[in-house]
Amino acid sequence: INLRTVYAFAREMYPKITTEPIQYGTAGFRGKAEFLDSVMFRMGVLATLRSRFRGGSVIGVMITASHNPEPDNGVKLIDPKGEMLEPSWETIATDLVNVSDQDLEQQVAKIIKDNQIDVASSSHVYVGMDNRYHSPRLLKAVSDGVIALKGNVREFGIVTTPMMHYFVVSANTKEAYGKPTEEGYYKKLISAFEELRDGCLEKGNYRNYLVFDGANGVGARKMLQFIKRMNKSLDITVINQGIGSGKINEDCGADYVKVQQRPPKSMPSVEPFTRCVSVDGDADRVVYFFTDDSGQFHLLDGDRIATLVAGYLMDLIKSCEINLRLGLVQTAYANGASTDYIENELKVPVSCVPTGVKHLHHKALEYDVGIYFEANGHGTIVFSDYAKSVIAQAVTTNPKAKTLLLLIDLINETVGDAISDMLLVETILNHKGWDVKDWISTYNDLPNRQLKIKVKDRNVITTTDAERICVKPVGLQDEINMAVSNYKRGRAFVRPSGTEDVVRVYAEAATKEDTENLSYEVGLLVQ
């Protein structure tokens, strides 16, 4: 490979137009789309090198800015087993993206040398994008980066983030996981879902109807595809389909619903207690909500999904008479009431880790059945190889174990998947004969509030104990403790955001008023 061509190509087609440093953060590179062309080209280059480094395994590249506003875009790399890019390569990525066009050739040579990459070996990169209008342009830049280094690129067009993770895993496991195509993905999920329904569409309080808010993103398009292929096993109205004037994530979607604690602005009027689902712009997060007969809004977020799933799986495992270690992983954002419920009622072990999917996923792998969810609705369930073999064995003696086997197929283990998670929740509610009233009555959420505080340098705040304790600036934690001690069931923490230039404040307490006051007080301490 002639690196000179790479350099010439980059300078001509994808010049770096800003010297503002950019960092590979919790969710890859994010920023205003107009500054990302050179980032994308270089990430195409990096994915090619990463694939060679991993012996030719498929590496995924997803172009999306998830729940960010429409003018933003972003990119993240997916490692061979569907996991997030290895941390040491995050640094390599950051360095590569920040060098000048002049230094690009040298930097690429350095990566090759440092990692002893055989540039003549084969390389495979899969690339997909969300439906932002600038995504196709950025996707071309990634592909050009792959081609510049003579790698193989396969473009998947508009897909959800979890679909990309699925494609990468299926390809790298020789299709044991399913076919690495869009149809393969639909087929895997829909066949498991319909078999789990077993022709029983409604049961007890469970009704088959729901409203799906697609956030004007790719999740809406894919849900329409699901509906076409499903045998009417769910009756779904899709809103915020991304047609017309609606912008991605604007006044709708999982982030809006969760943070604003209200339905999307475009919500049609529906019967009270109708199940509604919101996903984010790239469909890797999901929350449920409903409005009761007095017009009051109720949220069923990631914590609710986690507790529903944990309770159900625990019962199912028990009834199959098998012994598997089940555990749940949360972050500091989990509602205190959900943690109490899991520990004291469900008696499932809970651990708390720092924000970001990679931390949750990693911890969940320590259990036979590891359930992880962020309160914002991102999560999934991972089954160890041991668990899978025990379940497969149990099927021969206990027909109930078949349900577990089908659930494994329904769940996208590689990463949180809004649509797969939704089908899982629908399955559990259907099996239990539950409506949203039954679901929400399992415990009472503590009122909670999140604030964003703009500061000069958010990195002056450092934390420990899964972000629950503030280490620096010295003394701040004592002040937070003082504030918290004045409120019944009070809890609060502060942490620097990994995706925005702000400090985040979280507070919860016994009453709404107390929560408002506590968050305000803690916010003042940070400023």
Nearer residue to ligand 16G within complex by CB, 281 or 311: 281
**Least distance in Å: CB of 62 to Zn ion?**
10
- Single out the catalytic residue among 38, 51, 66, 420: 66
Q: Is 467 left (phi over 0), alpha (psi -120 to 50) or beta?
A: left
Q: Which stretch binds Zn ion (CB under 5 A): 58-66, 205-213, 350-358, 482-490?
A: 58-66
Query: Long-range contact list for 6-9, CB < 8 A, 24+ apart?
Result: 6/45, 6/104, 6/105, 6/108, 6/148, 6/149, 7/101, 7/104, 7/105, 9/144, 9/148
Nearer residue to ligand 16G within complex by CB, 357 or 382: 357
User: Does residue number 54 form part of the binding site for ligand 16G (CB under 6 A)?
Assistant: no
Could you list the residues known to form a binding site, using ranges: 66, 280, 282, 284, 374-376, 495-499, 504
Single-letter amino acid code for the residue at 352: C
Residue 280: contacted member of ligand 16G, Zn ion, none (CB under 5 to 8 Å, by partner type)? Zn ion
Quote the strand ranges of 374-523, DSSP E. 379-383, 448-453, 462-464, 469-472, 491-496, 503-508
Interacting residues with ligand 16G between 494 and 523 (CB under 6 A): 497-500, 504
User: Does residue number 355 form part of the binding site for ligand 16G (CB under 6 A)?
Assistant: yes
Q: Would you say the C-alpha torsion 295, 301, 307, 308 has a positive or negative sign?
A: positive
What end-to-end distance do the CA atoms of the chain give, in Å?
52
What is the contact mask toward ligand 16G in residues 371 to 400, using x (rule: CB under 6 A)? ---x-x-x----------------------
Q: Which stretch binds ligand 16G (CB under 6 A): 121-129, 259-267, 315-323, 355-363?
A: 355-363
Residue 233: contacted member of ligand 16G, Zn ion, none (CB under 5 to 8 Å, by partner type)? none
Please choose, from the candidates 458, 410, 449, 461, the residue with its C-alpha nearest in 3D space to the C-alpha of residue 431.
Answer: 410
Q: State the Cα–Cα distance between residues 362 and 373, nearest whole angstrom.
A: 12
User: Does residue number 357 form part of the binding site for ligand 16G (CB under 6 A)?
Assistant: yes
On the CB side of 104, CA atoms within 13 Å amount to 26
Residue 376: contacted member of Zn ion, ligand 16G, none (CB under 5 to 8 Å, by partner type)? ligand 16G
Q: How many residues bind Zn ion (CB under 5 A)?
A: 4
Residues 232/205, Cβ–Cβ less than 8 Å: no
Q: Which stretch binds ligand 16G (CB under 6 A): 1-9, 426-434, 477-485, 491-499?
A: 491-499
Residues 334/343, Cβ–Cβ less than 8 Å: no
User: Does residue number 450 form part of the binding site for ligand 16G (CB under 6 A)?
Assistant: no
How is residue 162 written in tokens? 């979890």
Neighbours of 401 (CB within 10 A): 22
Interacting residues with Zn ion between 59 and 78 (CB under 5 A): 66
User: Does residue number 182 form part of the binding site for ligand 16G (CB under 6 A)?
Assistant: no
Name 278's bridge partners: 213, 287
Q: Which stretch binds Zn ion (CB under 5 A): 12-20, 74-82, 276-284, 324-332?
A: 276-284
Single-letter amino acid code for the residue at 455: V
What is the contact mask toward Zn ion in residues 228 to 257, using x (rule: CB under 5 A)? ------------------------------
Q: Is 489 left (phi over 0), alpha (psi -120 to 50) or beta?
A: left
Q: With H, G, I as helix, E, B as strand and everything else as coil, classify residue 72.
A: strand
Nearer residue to ligand 16G within complex by CB, 136 or 498: 498
On the CB side of 341, CA atoms within 13 Å amount to 21
**Least distance in Å: CB of 440 to ligand 16G?**
23
Interacting residues with Zn ion between 279 and 298 (CB under 5 A): 280, 282, 284
Could you list the residues known to form a binding site for Mg(2+), using ranges: 66, 280, 282, 284
Q: State the Cα–Cα distance between residues 139 and 155, nearest whole angstrom.
A: 8
* 338 is known as an active-site residue: no
Q: Which stretch binds ligand 16G (CB under 6 A): 43-51, 214-222, 303-311, 493-501?
A: 493-501
Residue 282: contacted member of Zn ion, ligand 16G, none (CB under 5 to 8 Å, by partner type)? Zn ion
**Least distance in Å: CB of 76 to ligand 16G?**
7
How is residue 387 written in tokens? 């668990």
Q: Which residues contact 386 (CB under 8 A, 6 or more apart)?
A: 368
**Least distance in Å: CB of 141 to Zn ion?**
21
Residue 56: contacted member of ligand 16G, Zn ion, none (CB under 5 to 8 Å, by partner type)? none
Q: What are phi and psi of 369, to 5 degrees?
A: -125, 105
How is residue 154 written in tokens? 């396969």
Q: How far are the Cα atoms of 67, 242, 445 from residue 218, in angstroms, in the given order?
A: 11, 8, 31
Q: How far is CA 48 from its chain centroid?
A: 24
Residue 26: contacted member of Zn ion, ligand 16G, none (CB under 5 to 8 Å, by partner type)? ligand 16G
Q: How many residues bind ligand 16G (CB under 6 A)?
A: 14
Nearer residue to ligand 16G within complex by CB, 14 or 24: 24
How is residue 384 written in tokens? 């160890």
How is residue 82 written in tokens? 């569907």
Q: Which stretch binds ligand 16G (CB under 6 A): 164-172, 262-270, 349-357, 379-387?
A: 349-357
Q: State the Cα–Cα distance between residues 107 and 36, nearest whole angstrom.
A: 19
What is the contact mask toward ligand 16G in residues 7 to 36, using x (rule: CB under 6 A)? -------------------xx---------
Could you list the residues known to form a binding site for substrate, using ranges: 374-376, 495-499, 504
Q: Which residues contact 271 (CB under 8 A, 6 or more apart)?
A: none
List of residues contacting ligand 16G (CB under 6 A) = 26-27, 66, 355-357, 374, 376, 378, 497-500, 504
**What positions carry a catalytic annotation?**
66
List of residues contacting Zn ion (CB under 5 A) = 66, 280, 282, 284
